[in-house]
Structure 1
Amino acid sequence: MPEPAVPAHLPSRSALAATPAAARRPVGGMLHSWDLSTGVDGPGTRFVAFLSGCPLRCLYCHNPDTWRLRDGQRVAADEILREAAKYVEFIHASGGGATISGGEPLLQPVLTGELLHRFKHELGLHTALDTSGFLGSRATDALLADTDLVLLDIKSWDRALYRHLTGQQLAPTLNFARRLADLGKEVWVRFVLVPGLTDPIENVEGVAAFTASLGNVTRVDVLPFHKLGMEKWRALGLECTLADTPLPTGDQTDEARAVFAAHGLHAV
């Protein structure tokens, strides 16, 4: 089988393997934080590395302190691996793994690819990539080969609303979703239900129909809008335009899940 394609400016995997470890240039980048989580960042208990930097400015973002690269801490991939290695036995016992999140991890594709590769091949962990898909073109085939699961945020089907919610265009996310489908890569889609914004039935229906057309989505997380990050917005001096937006009711959330289920999708 031919080696997966990588950008011309990066060494191939075979070239790396032939290079003595001491001679390799250390891979590093900007890390916001890391955590152990259960149930929300992929299956089982997971070591989650939150990388700094994001090109989106989501109105409901609960981690606006991850938006800027410079606000992270510069670390080497080796440091993150050493931290994750402390929990490998516990993670394996739970059927978990490691997730690269953010921010937007594909803003730092070299570090993200290095971590996914080493989590998978050195620590033997199931790997997940949590992404908006907006920078999906930066994900090399090699990076995706080292990714067992993609957690893909599809924030709206309505293009104008997507632009309003994020400050960016929807098309790159849809293109990345189709690429993942062509590769047969397992995907969990995430959709945040915001009353008065993302909850119109035609918007939910659009996301559901597109998701069902892909054929590789094994789960849809309908996530009720919450305000847990509002204090961060205020602390950063940012205007939080959704401060007065009501939380979705249980019935509203169930109705959205029912739309996805009607398309044959497993919605939770």
Structure 2
Amino acid sequence: MTVLLGQNIAAAATPAAAATHRPSDGSVHSWDLSTGVDGPGTRFVTFLSGCPLTCLYCHNPDTWKMRNGKRTSADDIIAEARKYTKFIAASGGGATISGGEPLLQPVFAGELLHRMKHELGLHTALDTSGFLGVRATDALLRDVDLVLLDIKSWDRETYKKVTGRPLQPTLDFAHRLADLGKEVHVRFVLVPGLTDDPANIEGVAAFAGSLGNVSRVDVLPFHKLGEGKWQALGMNFTLHDTPSPDPEQIAFAKGVFEAHGLKAV
């Protein structure tokens, strides 16, 4: 659930002041305060613009292109987050860098993570598909307390159909995170007729269960809340006639993950 206290950066950002150490800047879609699947507690979530994936069910297709974001400095984002640090800390929350795909802008994302963690003292999370995991330096990952890793399908053809990209880079990144002992929440969107095949769910669950660093799996029911954005952008939302999964389908998927020793919510 998103708490509507944020604002679109396009309407709010101001130029960064000159400094001896010039902070990085990046293309930012928006920021928000949220609770739910962006990490534990209340989170200050920064949504970066640009994504190499084109997921059929994406609820923010307006984040796909970097040019549609607002050029914003790290100072601007940190100043906004600073206003809420006491509230966030009281909830056991933190800061999440999301998108789009934040690893499309690894320098900017890295500075935000570093400053959120060390300057503001916040728990940090990186929300990523893992497709650009090779761009995440070891230094960047040292400033990440939690990775929210989207594994959208185990079946390779389905993954390519859903995202327009191959699955393997995500799996490679997942193994790297496991080797580093980095805590991971796997996120899996359950789409009837697309990702709900039992063998597909079993594949994701078996892989996640084998890693040893996955503390939670979020089984996210498909919804069509972003369809209006697709229409506004003149894009065809091909899942228009796809229903949301029913409670029995959701419970089945969670049961598969739990059978592999994983906490599924």
Q: Taking structure 1 as the reference length, what is the TM-score of the superposition? A: 0.92
Q: Name the SS for the 1:179 alignment partner.
A: helix
Specify every segment of 5 or more residues in structure 1 that has no aligned partner in the other structure, as ranges: 1-20
* Equivalent in 183, 188, 195 of residue 186 of structure 1: 183
Cα distance between partner residues in 2 of 1:26 and 1:117:
12
Structure 1 residue 217, shift from structure 2 partner = 0.2
Which residue of structure 2 lines up, in the alignment, with residue 252 of structure 1?
A: 249
Letter in 2 for 1:126: H
* Equivalent in 97, 101, 104 of residue 104 of structure 1: 101
Which residue of structure 2 lines up, in the alignment, with residue 218 of structure 1?
A: 215
Cα distance between partner residues in 1 of 2:20 and 2:35:
38
Q: Name the SS for the 1:191 alignment partner.
A: strand
Cα distance between partner residues in 2 of 1:155 and 1:132:
8
Letter in 2 for 1:147: V
Which residue of structure 1 lines up, in the alignment, with residue 50 of structure 2?
A: 53
Structure 1 residue 234, shift from structure 2 partner = 0.3
Which residue of structure 2 lines up, in the alignment, with residue 22 of structure 1?
A: 19
Percentage identity across aligned positions? 75
User: For 1:132-161, what per-residue CA distance to the aligned partner results, in whole angstroms no more than 9, with x for missing partners?
Assistant: 000000000000000000000000000011
Which residue of structure 1 lines up, in the alignment, with residue 141 of structure 2?
A: 144
Structure 1 residue 26, shift from structure 2 partner = 2.4
Q: Name the SS for the 1:267 alignment partner.
A: coil
* Equivalent in 219, 236, 239 of residue 236 of structure 2: 239
Question: Does the 8 A contact of 2:89 with 2:122 survive in 1?
Answer: yes
User: For 1:84-113, what per-residue CA distance to the aligned partner results, in whole angstroms no more than 9, with x for missing partners?
Assistant: 000000000000000000000000000000
Q: Name the SS for the 1:23 alignment partner.
A: coil
CA RMSD of aligned residues (A): 0.8
Cα distance between partner residues in 1 of 2:161 and 2:250:
22
Structure 1 residue 40, shift from structure 2 partner = 1.8
Question: Does the 8 A contact of 2:221 with 2:245 survive in 1?
Answer: yes
Which residue of structure 1 lines up, in the alignment, with residue 84 of structure 2?
A: 87
Cα distance between partner residues in 2 of 1:180 and 1:224:
26
Which residue of structure 1 lines up, in the alignment, with residue 12 of structure 2?
A: none
Specify every segment of 5 or more residues in structure 2 that has no aligned partner in the other structure, as ranges: 1-17
Which residue of structure 1 lines up, in the alignment, with residue 28 of structure 2?
A: 31
Cα distance between partner residues in 2 of 1:161 and 1:252:
18
Alignment of 1:42-81 (within 5 A): 42-81=39-78
Question: Does the 8 A contact of 2:37 with 2:218 survive in 1?
Answer: no
Which residue of structure 1 lines up, in the alignment, with residue 259 of structure 2?
A: 262
